[in-house]
Structure 1
Amino acid sequence: MARLLLVSNRLPVTVKVDHGELHVSPSAGGLATGLKGPHQRSGGLWMGFPGDASRMDEAQRAELEARLAELQCVPIHLSPGEVSRYYEGFSNGVLWPLFHYLLDRVPLDARDWESYRRVNERFADLVAEHHREGDIVWVHDYQLALVPGMLRRRIPNARIGFFLHIPFPSSEIFRILPWRNQILDGLLGADLVGFHTLSYLRAFVASLMLVHGVEANVDRVWYEGREVRLGAFPMGIDAAAFAALADTPEVIEEARAIRKSAEGQHILLGIDRLDYTKGIPRRLLAIERLLEREPSLRGKVRLVQVTVPSRTKVEAYQDFRRQVDELVGRINGAFATVQSVPIHSLYRSFSERQLTALYKAADAMLVTPLRDGMNLVAKEFVAARTDEDGVLVLSELAGAASELGAALHVNPYDIGQVAMAMKRAITMPREERRWRMAALRGRVLAYDVHRWAQSFIDTLETQSEDTARRVTHTATPDELEKLTEEIRNERRLLVLLDYDGTLVEFEGLPENARPDEDLRALLRALAERPGTRVHVISGRTRPMLEGWLGDLPIGLSAEHGFWTRPGPQGTWTMRGHVPADWKSRFLPLLEQFVARTPGSLIEEKWASVTFHYRMADAAFGALQAKELRLHLGDLLKNAPVEVVPGDKVVEIRLLGAGSGALVPWLLRDAPQGTRVLALGDDLADEEMFAALASPHVAVHVGPGPSRAAYRLSGPAAARSLLREIARPG
């Protein structure tokens, strides 16, 4: 298998210095477990932050580097200031609450973007330094959202995957972020972008359209000349290991002791990291509501709430802990008896063995986050229940809810509903508990973390191979220099140029794309090159092209070649026949769509009519264009016309009005041995490219699929190439 380069904020190791002695041990987290096998089997590297090494002496740092190398890890050392600004300030202070829909937690004035960007640059530099041809790069999570795009610029042909371990928010939430476009640019540098659920994928697709103006086709999108695949890969746990641990004598005995200490009470269990996304205060209010509504349950229900310390030095988390402690105190004060208290709050870390014993002892597990990317605690509980008993109460706003349908789903914001789910869980008949748990275990055991990792890697490898076969190659500087030199040495040259999107950027109103003086001078210089003919082939109307470019010594073709003028002294000729009433069948339909699509317009020509929606709302315009094409397909089924989608346009044109038939017509009058250089950007230009065979050269300008052998990033790059060709000498 290909070598795997894993990139995450933290390395999968724990580093400690105890009495001057360095201790480095592998971590036991879900990500580390799932990727351990592929990492080691491929002879790969894992890159990330090992922890603060600023207080280590030189000998300890050298030993740390050596120990990490043995574990196939490459550290990136961050200063305390970088950790504070990039990690705590932007990653966890801005992206974390925003992606979890908690806007009140987003700071009023976020100032740490530059630090976030710089650290992402450092990660990209580190990956590029260690990358070898054929490697697979897998970048993880929101802290490194810019790395794929940065790495793509450094290594254009790299195979890059990205996985987001937290939710992707709705477009209305995401567009609040001032750096939203930069984040999307970064993610789209990957060949494969993975999410836990289809709902997160759909939210990402919506943001691509509404925020970035990029339209996806179900599970893939064309961006900067590449196909980016999008996929849902629900992350699992090492279910077999949890099940095996749950059946060890030590865990069985510890679970029995926990049950005995409960003295016949029903045990409800919550295990969470201290974080405001986990819904702990609302869960506490739900147990309070249950005891208020059901006096008979007082003294018979015990909530064991394990809260693992997190970000203990951050003031907001200190305040949150005080809020939780105050709620626990108030509820226990109201409902405690001489024999028991309803809430046992434990604020500390537990070992995996201790947690598994708690899972095994509980009557019901409460996983009620306000929003969660997946929540692996829910799956750990299920895996540990080898007795096929126990009930899972699960927030419908956790990613795991999309997989674990046999759980009791609740809205974590509905305290009354959560309270009633608690009651249902502890009163559920044994037969129902068993079939529900059997269904949950079937899913969790089959779709474990190893299957998740391999599924993503397999998809990335397939996507990279498919893309390499189908994607037009973006020309490197060396290749452009070689191509330019070849073209400059041609004695007879015919240059075919599209206009919009190739020589000029697109404009909302077609008439606003008037050529600037630099472009006019460039076309003139190109046409004055010895042995060179220049021909602009555009979808524009004949009067518009004549007014803009008619005085230049070049050929012009309007409406994609339906009207043609061979040179400045030539006359315009029509290459086809236009029926008198050919537009009457569909113009009323187009007018309806313009009326209901604000920002759209109709452009009428001799041989075509175009529906423009560049100034419309991006998502609504794209939806309307799709619907229009469906209607036109039915309406014009037997008509001598064709419907051609383009960049924010839908064009209806007479058959034979495309540029494909124009190429042989132009070559017919060209001197023997003339070589063609054709530049274009959309589907209409693909017809022109299809009519060209070697040694002629087709160059696609901008994103999107193309049959062209070369690709340039945009009009600026196209002008630069033409300027080099026109340069004297």
Structure 2
Amino acid sequence: MAGAAAGHRLASCTVSRAFFLLGLHGLMDPTASAADNPVMGKGPAPDATSEDPPLSVPAGERVLYTRVFFRCVVPQEYATKLKEDNGKVVVVGDCASLGHWDHRQGVELFTQEDMFPCFYTVEPVKFQTKVRVSYQYALVSQDGNLFAYIDKDKRSMIPTGGEMTVEDDFGMYRNALHPEDVSSLFDDRSSVEASSQISQTPETNAHILFEQRMAAIRSLESFPPLESNNGVLMVSFELPVKVEKVNGEWVARVSESGNVMPSMYQLRHQYPVRVMFVGWPGVHVKDYTEQREIRELLLDYDCIPVFLAEDLYHNFVNFCDRFLWPIFHSVVMSFVYDDNPRPFDLQQWAAYQTVNQKFSEVVWTSCREDQDMVWIHDIYLLLMPMLVGRKLRTANVGLFLHTPFPSSDLYKCLPVREELLKGMLCADLVGFQFFEYERHFLTCCKRILGLDYHFKKGGFVSVDYLGREVALRVGHACIHYDYTMQKMQDPLVIERARALRTHYGDNVIVYASVDRCDRLSGIGLKFRAWRLFLEQHPNVVGRAVLRQHAYVPKTHSTKLAYKLACELTDIAASINKQFGSEVIHFESGPLSVVDRMALLRVADVLLDTSVKSGLNLVPFEYYVARAALPPTSPTNLRGAVMCSEFSGCSRVLIGSLSVNPWNTDKLVLAIQDAKHMLGTPELAERLYRDTAYVSSHSLLSWAEDFLCDLRRARKKAEMMYITYGFGANFRLMGLSEDFQRLEHEEILAAYKRAKFRVLFLDNEGSCLICGVASSGQFPSSSSEGELTNLHMHGSPPSETVLQMLRVMCRDPRNVVVILSGRSPDHLEKWFSSVDHIGLAAEHGYYYQVPALNGPDHQQGVSSSRRHWECLLSDSYASERDDTSWKAIAMELMKQYVARTQGSYIEYKGSALVWQYGDADPDFGQWQAKELANSLEELLDTYNVEVVCGKGFVEIKLKGVNKGVAAQIILQKLSSIRGQPDFVLAMGDDQSDELMFEKLKNLYEPKSSPIPVHVESPKHRPPSPAGSAGNTSSIERPKRTLGLNSGSIHRDLNQLGTGVRRPPFSTTPSSKGAQAATWKEDGGNLGLLASHGTSTRRPQGEASTQHAKSITEVFTVSVGKKPSHAKWFVADPHEVSDVLASLATASSSAACAGYEVLSSNTCPAWGRQLNTCSVGRAAGALAGPAYGQQYEGNPDSYMFSYDENLEEQELLMTHGDSGEESGEDDEMAELRQYLY
């Protein structure tokens, strides 16, 4: 939308792809300086070549660019001429990229026959990010002459992000060729003959069509390119570079272990981005000077150290080794069968949190939030995504688990299961090695946190968490093949392997294994099987040997590892003693890379008997060792890999021999089979197949793919991210930018200003189920237990809540409507003590609002006299009365109830609901999908719809929801009393979102503030003080909303001149409230489709121009969560606070004469007032009609509105003070309160 002076229209811009972070993906200007960050700013300089000349910018500032695609539609009056003349469409603008308005230098757009007259650019146009660009679409004839512009007015846009699409085609392009519709991309009918590009040759058309199809396919992956100005913080518990003190000086040494991080460190210079590694350096240093020396030393190695106190380190390691490591590897036997099992250690859990906090603090100071990515590795830092988000809310954070993830039943054994799970969900992307682990994670999210997940095009899975989509990715790491091959061919490794082979001789079969020194490695099971193998085959004694090496990682308890090593040493010694020779060679402790590579070159069989493990990379290295052997070597084909069924390797190395370490007899048989298979063609084929797999999967490609997915999953720029909670309960939530907390003062001020209010309140789960404790006149707190009981058992609202409703409903300016999913009988029973209250049962299908029944609103209606109306009018009597669909649905639902334990059927007048909230979540969800599909098929010809929600499947009549009910009630109220000044809607359920969305659609925003002048009438009666009124000028708030509903518009236009409404308000709405504008024309009420129109209405011989009345709309969600509401409150207790404030305001106003109270005591003023005198006094100010006698009661008055009293209304609003008018003190106090 555009300002009136400029006459420009801002194009509808859509960010077409997911990129790293807003404004970070464009090309950098060659003059741009490095970042101020001392760590990440040391990355390689960006490419100095650029298609555009450098822009004039201050030195030291970056210039970023955005790649923009254009789409437009040629109007029909030009489209025919364009096709007949073989012309073309170009986009021109006020910058060099668009030819400076020269159509000969503009960018050409293309089309296809099935898309005509939709045109699009094939290549993107590059603009400086966040710099406004003006442009137009020009139509050029075949000879190059300009003959028309699509629009007379110039358009404008502001490029943002790395790549965006300007859609001026009303979505025609996406409808014609949607990137997600892959099936249509390979339709052979879209051939060269079918594509007729204007002013292009058929060859060009075919090329364009091919490129468009390829782009559509690539868009499913949407891997944005990593650029040199991006950076990655690679966070793991241990640094790949260790430090040690040699001769009094600190020396750095690169780790050569077979883990992933050292291999990724070797590749750091091959990444297209700057990579820094964060982790513990392997030493405990207390002195700050030495810490600074180590920090400066490691900076040259692209590493950032995190220093830990020694006692903190040991508690952290013990927690990981005793609790996390066994649970994540699906082992709980040690907790059950130990003689003295240790309870959960809170001190160790505190140490785990502290270590994660220290790592996060380093990331806070080292990460450029808008440019860098944070990649966290493994289970040792599961809380880091949450902690990083405390300071860096929009940081792009990824987490990858190099361990298995347990099933939900085992994961529930962790006392801190929710804290860890929520910490992981604060990441943008969570990666797993295999889908089995991802499936377990999804099940835990479903069963523990109640979160839903969905699958997306392109093979992506995401979890919906607090308004954010947490992406999940499956893909295992590999080894650095070229680097490993180079190490295998190192002369020192070859010499060490030759010596080892000489020691055993060529006729001895070497079984080798390199494992962690923990019980999950299954080394004890391996030794037991080896003893049995030798006992059953005594002839192999002296001709076969098992070399077992067990190493101890820094993240494992050395005490437990030492104990296990002693046990294994004794078992090995016992076996060697039994057979009289060294049939087992066991070592524990560190293993150098040379010794490891030499052992793998010598080994004929690699034996893995893990009880449970992730992806062990030693078998991958073994295949490289086989490939490194020369073809003439006698052992080049003597290679076999035996993998445990419980190891991740068995899933990817399909040529390996799969074994079950728990079945000793089968394991012994497999050891014997591997011996006989050596050198056979079958084993050679297996070896070749897995070697090809290992060599074709690159660690660098895996890392780049993860980083691209991480950029794709980044937080959306158009969302607002807020944090709440403390400690491990910290949360990061994504909300709409205009979602804000409700200010009590703001809504109370709007409530007091309004003369006609409509309040829609949800019954359960938000405002009315919470009991309110005693606090002043209207208490506002309740116990959690009461809330839980009410929610679970459907108890009625507390007496204090009912008292608040009674006070608000007695205020004639208020219409209070309770909306609920319960039956009319329930609501009548619960709210029978509240007169004048409106009720909407079954989500609005049945409703009754006394204010719609004329005098009933003043007199009150008992529950027995209430008349319920149906949302479907008599014109839909056939659909309303036809219940045959219920019989069909009921019969089908009964079958699902019989087969789904914990499910039941809820019968409603307008719907049938199959509830499965108490059933197994996974099984219930599967059944729900099948039931929904079956219902849609069986009831396709009925006017019903199937709705699936959390724990239920509902089939109901179409168009029955709280949003429609609220719309119809507003329509009828407006036809009786005019437009309301104040609308409040509060709720916490998904059904309330339909009400919020409906109100949002009814009151659509306008573009700019419109000044409204309130003119004094020419023949205004003198004010009580004898002073003449003056002219007031009021400017509307910037966000004005116009009620826009066709059905309401038609109904109101049919009302004629008999409609009475409250006088126009001359008070602007509060800054946050939404405002709606109405107009009156010739006595007919209507709705403004446009704004800026002031109206007059004749009144005798004079006419008065009034400001349009303003409707202030408050849509309030209970709890901070993604919502269509504009405001939120924290919990039901805050709802009670809001209602208490409003009720108190109504009670105070009642003492001023707005309502008849049973008692003349006004708590707000604290003294006795006579409502009769107050009513008459108010009537004296406003005129006789304002002092109408209230229903025959001579001592009671109330305010009523009259069309002929606008001058008095303006006088009361803008006149002089009561003191100048000669009013008494009581009247002045009344005026001050009311106006």
TM-score, length of structure 1 as denominator length: 0.88
Deviation at 1:392, TM superposition (A): 1.0
1:364 corresponds to 2:605 = yes
Kindly provide the amino acid, as one letter, of the partner of residue 300 in structure 1: R
Kindly provide the amino acid, as one letter, of the partner of residue 194 in structure 1: G
Q: Which whole-Å CA distance do the structure 2 matches of 1:518 and 1:73 have between them?
A: 62
1:266-306 Cα deviation digits (max 9, x unpaired):
11110112111111111122222221222222211111112
Unpaired segments of 5 or more residues in structure 2? 1-226, 336-340, 456-460, 630-635, 722-732, 770-786, 858-866, 873-879, 1006-1073, 1075-1113, 1146-1232
1:474 corresponds to 2:717 = no
Whether the 8 Å CA contact 2:344–2:415 is kept in 1: the answer is no
Within 5 Å, which residues of 2 pair with 1:105-184?
105-106=334-335, 107-111=341-345, 112-131=348-367, 132-152=369-389, 154-184=391-421
Unpaired segments of 5 or more residues in structure 1? none
1:99-158 Cα deviation digits (max 9, x unpaired):
223323344312122332343344444434544234322222212222223444554443
1:432-468 Cα deviation digits (max 9, x unpaired):
2222122112222222322222222211221225796
Q: Which whole-Å CA distance do the structure 2 matches of 1:529 and 1:62 have between them?
A: 71
Deviation at 1:14, TM superposition (A): 0.7
Name which of 223, 226, 230 aligns with 2:472.
230
Deviation at 1:420, TM superposition (A): 2.1
Deviation at 1:687, TM superposition (A): 3.5
Where 1:413 maps in the other structure, the secondary structure is coil
Match of 2:659 in 1: 410
1:68 corresponds to 2:304 = no
Q: Which whole-Å CA distance do the structure 1 matches of 2:937 and 2:271 have between them?
A: 56
Kindly provide the amino acid, as one letter, of the partner of residue 333 in structure 1: K
| More contact order relative to length (CA 8 Å, sep ≥ 6) | 1
Q: Which whole-Å CA distance do the structure 2 matches of 1:563 and 1:226 have between them?
A: 36
Where 1:77 maps in the other structure, the secondary structure is coil
Where 1:169 maps in the other structure, the secondary structure is coil
1:559 corresponds to 2:800 = no
Match of 1:23 in 2: 251
1:261 corresponds to 2:503 = yes
Task: Give the direction of change, closer, same or farther, for the CA distance of 1:507–1:396 in structure 2 (3 Å limit).
Answer: farther
Task: Give the direction of change, closer, same or farther, for the CA distance of 1:265–1:175 in structure 2 (3 Å limit).
Answer: same
Kindly provide the amino acid, as one letter, of the partner of residue 684 in structure 1: S
Task: Give the direction of change, closer, same or farther, for the CA distance of 1:530–1:441 in structure 2 (3 Å limit).
Answer: farther
Whether the 8 Å CA contact 2:762–2:820 is kept in 1: the answer is yes
Whether the 8 Å CA contact 1:161–1:193 is kept in 2: the answer is yes
Match of 2:331 in 1: 102
Where 1:585 maps in the other structure, the secondary structure is helix
Task: Give the direction of change, closer, same or farther, for the CA distance of 1:275–1:392 in structure 2 (3 Å limit).
Answer: same
1:521-578 Cα deviation digits (max 9, x unpaired):
7767887999775544332222223333452765432212211223575643111224
Q: Which whole-Å CA distance do the structure 1 matches of 2:820 and 2:739 have between them?
A: 30
Deviation at 1:24, TM superposition (A): 2.6
TM-score, length of structure 2 as denominator length: 0.54
Where 1:474 maps in the other structure, the secondary structure is strand
Match of 1:59 in 2: 289
Q: Which whole-Å CA distance do the structure 2 matches of 1:214 and 1:412 have between them?
A: 37
Whether the 8 Å CA contact 1:275–1:310 is kept in 2: the answer is no
Where 1:137 maps in the other structure, the secondary structure is strand
Name which of 587, 594, 599 aligns with 2:897.
594
Where 2:326 maps in the other structure, the secondary structure is helix
1:494-525 Cα deviation digits (max 9, x unpaired):
55444444446787976436434675577678
Task: Give the direction of change, closer, same or farther, for the CA distance of 1:639–1:65 in structure 2 (3 Å limit).
Answer: same
Task: Give the direction of change, closer, same or farther, for the CA distance of 1:514–1:147 in structure 2 (3 Å limit).
Answer: farther
1:300 corresponds to 2:543 = yes
Kindly provide the amino acid, as one letter, of the partner of residue 556 in structure 1: L
Q: Percent identity?
A: 30
Whether the 8 Å CA contact 1:555–1:566 is kept in 2: the answer is yes
Q: Which whole-Å CA distance do the structure 2 matches of 1:82 and 1:39 have between them?
A: 36
Q: Which whole-Å CA distance do the structure 1 matches of 2:538 and 2:650 have between them?
A: 31
Where 2:886 maps in the other structure, the secondary structure is coil
1:245 corresponds to 2:487 = yes
Deviation at 1:374, TM superposition (A): 1.1
Task: Give the direction of change, closer, same or farther, for the CA distance of 1:343–1:84 in structure 2 (3 Å limit).
Answer: same
Name which of 687, 691, 695 aligns with 1:441.
691
Task: Give the direction of change, closer, same or farther, for the CA distance of 1:130–1:255 in structure 2 (3 Å limit).
Answer: closer
Bigger drift between 42-51 and 73-82 goes to 42-51
Bigger drift between 699-708 and 567-576 goes to 699-708
Report how many aligned residue pairs link the two structures. Answer: 724
1:289 corresponds to 2:532 = yes
Task: Give the direction of change, closer, same or farther, for the CA distance of 1:229–1:536 in structure 2 (3 Å limit).
Answer: farther
Match of 1:275 in 2: 518
Whether the 8 Å CA contact 1:39–1:46 is kept in 2: the answer is no
1:4 corresponds to 2:232 = yes
Whether the 8 Å CA contact 1:488–1:725 is kept in 2: the answer is no
Name which of 367, 377, 382 aligns with 2:618.
377
Q: Which whole-Å CA distance do the structure 2 matches of 1:700 and 1:421 have between them?
A: 63
1:185 corresponds to 2:433 = no
Match of 1:318 in 2: 562
Within 5 Å, which residues of 2 pair with 1:475-494?
479-480=740-741, 485=746, 489=750, 494=758
Deviation at 1:417, TM superposition (A): 2.2
Match of 2:709 in 1: 459
Match of 1:213 in 2: 450
Match of 1:332 in 2: 576
Task: Give the direction of change, closer, same or farther, for the CA distance of 1:526–1:611 in structure 2 (3 Å limit).
Answer: farther
Deviation at 1:216, TM superposition (A): 3.2
Name which of 343, 368, 382 aligns with 2:584.
343
Q: Which whole-Å CA distance do the structure 2 matches of 1:300 and 1:665 have between them?
A: 90
1:545 corresponds to 2:858 = no
Q: CA RMSD of the aligned region, Å?
A: 3.6
1:2-24 Cα deviation digits (max 9, x unpaired):
33233322233212123422123
Match of 1:630 in 2: 933
Bigger drift between 130-139 and 423-432 goes to 130-139
Whether the 8 Å CA contact 2:903–2:919 is kept in 1: the answer is yes
Name which of 947, 953, 956 aligns with 1:650.
953
Match of 1:575 in 2: 871
Whether the 8 Å CA contact 2:734–2:1122 is kept in 1: the answer is no
Name which of 307, 328, 332 aligns with 1:77.
307
Task: Give the direction of change, closer, same or farther, for the CA distance of 1:360–1:715 in structure 2 (3 Å limit).
Answer: farther
Where 1:385 maps in the other structure, the secondary structure is helix
1:426 corresponds to 2:733 = no
Q: Which whole-Å CA distance do the structure 1 matches of 2:1132 and 2:804 have between them?
A: 13
Task: Give the direction of change, closer, same or farther, for the CA distance of 1:250–1:402 in structure 2 (3 Å limit).
Answer: same
Whether the 8 Å CA contact 1:138–1:162 is kept in 2: the answer is yes
Kindly provide the amino acid, as one letter, of the partner of residue 334 in structure 1: Q
Within 5 Å, which residues of 2 pair with 1:700-715?
none
Match of 2:107 in 1: none
Kindly provide the amino acid, as one letter, of the partner of residue 684 in structure 2: R
Where 2:620 maps in the other structure, the secondary structure is helix
Q: Which whole-Å CA distance do the structure 2 matches of 1:506 and 1:468 have between them?
A: 36
Q: Which whole-Å CA distance do the structure 1 matches of 2:802 and 2:365 have between them?
A: 44
1:597-616 Cα deviation digits (max 9, x unpaired):
34333222111122222333
Deviation at 1:651, TM superposition (A): 1.4
